[in-house]
Chain A
Amino acid sequence: MSRSSVPGMLIALAVLIAALLFAFTVGRYPAGLGDLFHVIAAKLAGRPSGVPHAAIDVLLRIRGPRVLAAVLVGSALAIAGAAFQGLFRNPLVSPDLLGASSGAALGTVLGIYFSLGAFAIEATAFAGGLAAVGAVYLIGSAMRARDPILLLVLTGVVIGALLGAGVGLVKYVADPYNQLPAMTFWLLGSLAATTASDLVPLVGPVALGTLVLLALRWRMNVMSLPDEEARALGVPTGPLRIAIIAAATLVTSASVATAGIVGWVGLVVPHIARTLVGPDFARLVLAAALLGGGFLLAIDTVARTATATEIPLGILTALVGTPFFIWLLAGMAKTWS
C-alpha cells in the first residue's frame, strides 16, 4: 500500500468503528455497549454480570445481527458499485445498472403475492436479481456491436423498465389491504426484520463475490482502460467482464434480498472512497467496503432509533445521496464544458 493512501484508509476505518460504537450504544430498547462489556467482563471473570437477560438478548439476538447486516449490505453495495463504475468506465453507474434491483423487486412482490414465508421471499428476491442480470447479459452479448459495454447498459435499462412494469402489474392485482402495504414497505428498504439466521444467506454470497473481485484487482485496473488497450496488455476482456459482473451481481442480489431496495450507497460511496485512497482497485474496494458499511450502519441506526416506527432506508439514503449526486454532476458539468 503506497504511503499516500494510508490516511484515507484510516479515515474509512474510523468511520466504520465510530458507526459500530454508535449503533451498539443506541436503540429503542434500553441496552447499550456498556451492558455488553459488563457481560463479557463477567463471563471472563466467571461471575454473574447483573445485566438483565432481556438486555443481553436484545444486544446479541436483535441489535447485533441487524448491525452486522447493515455493515455487510453497505459494504457489499459499495464494493459492487466500485466494480461497476470501473468496469463501465462511468462514474454515474450504480450496482443495479444491469437490473439486479428490479429483478429482486419483481421476485419479492411475487413472493408476497403468493403469500410465501419470509425466507422464501428472500430466496425469490435473490433469484430474481441473478436471473435479471443473467438475462441482460445474454441478450446484450448476443448482439454484435462495436461498443459491447454500451449495448449491455442499454439492455439493462430496457430490461429494468420491463421488470418495473412487472412489479407494477403485481402491485395492481395484489390485495390492496394486506399485500400492497407489505410490497410498498419492502420496496423502500428496511433491515427491521433481520435475525441471526438472515446473516447466513448474506455472508456467503457477499464473501464469495468480494473475494473474486479482490482476486481480479490487477486486471480490474486494466479494465478501466479502453478495450483495445486492455487487450494489448494481454487481458482477456470478455471472460473477465463476465466474472466481474457475476461477482458484483452475487453481492448486490444478496444485499437486496436482505434489505430491500437501498439506493445511492453503491453510487455515492465509491466516489468518496476514490477521493480518499485513489483509483487503485484493491485499495478502492477495501476503502469502499469500510465506508459503505459505516455509512449504511449509520443510516440504519437513524432509521431504527429516530422514532418508534422505522424510517425506510431508501428514503434516508436518498435524502443523503441526492445532494451528493447533484454536487457530483456539477463537478462533471465543469469537465464537460
Chain B
Amino acid sequence: MPPSGCCSLRDAIIAEKLTKYYGDFLAVDHISFRVRRGEIYGFLGPNGAGKTTTVRMLCGLTRISEGKAYIYGYDINRELVAVKKLIGVVQDISNLYMELSCYDNLMFCAEMYGVPRNKRKERVMDLLRFFGLEDRKHVKFKELSKGLKRRLAIAAALVHEPKLLFLDEPTIGLDVKSKRQIWSFIRKLNEEGITIFLTTHNIYEAFRLCNRIAIINRGKIIAEGTPTELRKKVSGNKIIELQVSPPIKKSAIFDSVDGIIDVKVGRDNTVYITIDDTIAALEGILRMVKKLNLEIIMLNLRGADAEDVFIKLIDRTEKNIGFSTER
C-alpha cells in the first residue's frame, strides 16, 4: 500500500513538532527534524533528555501527544503496521526471549515479520554469520554475554531487511572491544544502504559514527548539524595542551598573557589553556616558558573536541534556565 502522508523521496523520517507529555511532565517539547535516507543520524543528549521517548514515539511504543511523524511517508498514527514492516528497533535493553536459543529467537522474529517460509532459514543463518554468532546458534539467549546479547538484538531487528534501523543506546554497558565491534557492524549496515537513527549519550560514539547529529536536552533540540558544523558552532575557542619540565603547579603564571581565557592544570601536570587569540597566546606562553627557563615536553594546539562542543551547547541552554554543567 503506498504511503498516505507527506514525504519527499529524500527523507526517511519527518518529525513535525513532536511532543510527549507524561501527565504534566513535558518529556519531548515540540521537536522537528528530518532524517535523510541512507544516513546515520545521531540523537545525542544526557540521560533523561528525551532520546528514548522520541524513539518510542517513532516506532509506536509510546503515543504521540502532539505533532506528527512520518516514516518513509507513512503516518505513524494512522499506518503503524506499515511503519513496523519498514523499521527495525534495537531497544536500550536486550529483551529477547531468555529460554530460546539464538537461532530460535531469530526464527521467531522472522515469522512475526512475515519473512517468506522458504527464505527464513537462509536469512537467519546469514545474520548469525554476519554477527559472528554461527557457532552459538543453539546457545540460549540468557547464556550469552552482554556484548553478544546486543549483537543478537541487532540481528533480530534486521531479520526482515528493514529500510530504517533504530538503535537506542546500542553500546551502553559494553566493554571497549564489544563497543568497537558494534560500531563496525553499524558502519557495515549503513554501507549496505540501511538508514540508521542512533540515540546515545556517548559523545565520541555520535561524532565518530554519525553523518548528522541533533543534540537534545530537556526535550528540545538545541543544535543540529554534521560533526564539523557542530564543532564550528563553538569554534571561537581553541585549546593548547602544554607539558613542561619542571611541571607547572599553578595556573596563575599565565595570568599576564594575552589571548588566554582559561587555564587548568590536569592531574598529569598537563596544562589546558583555552585561548581566543592563537598568535598572541602562543607568543605569550613561549615568552613565559623562556623566562621561567622551562623545557617543553609537549605542546599541542587543537580545536574544540566533541566533548567541548557538547558541554558548551548544553551549558548554553542550562544557563538560560538557571543550571550549569561542570566539565
Tell me whether A and B are bound partners.
no
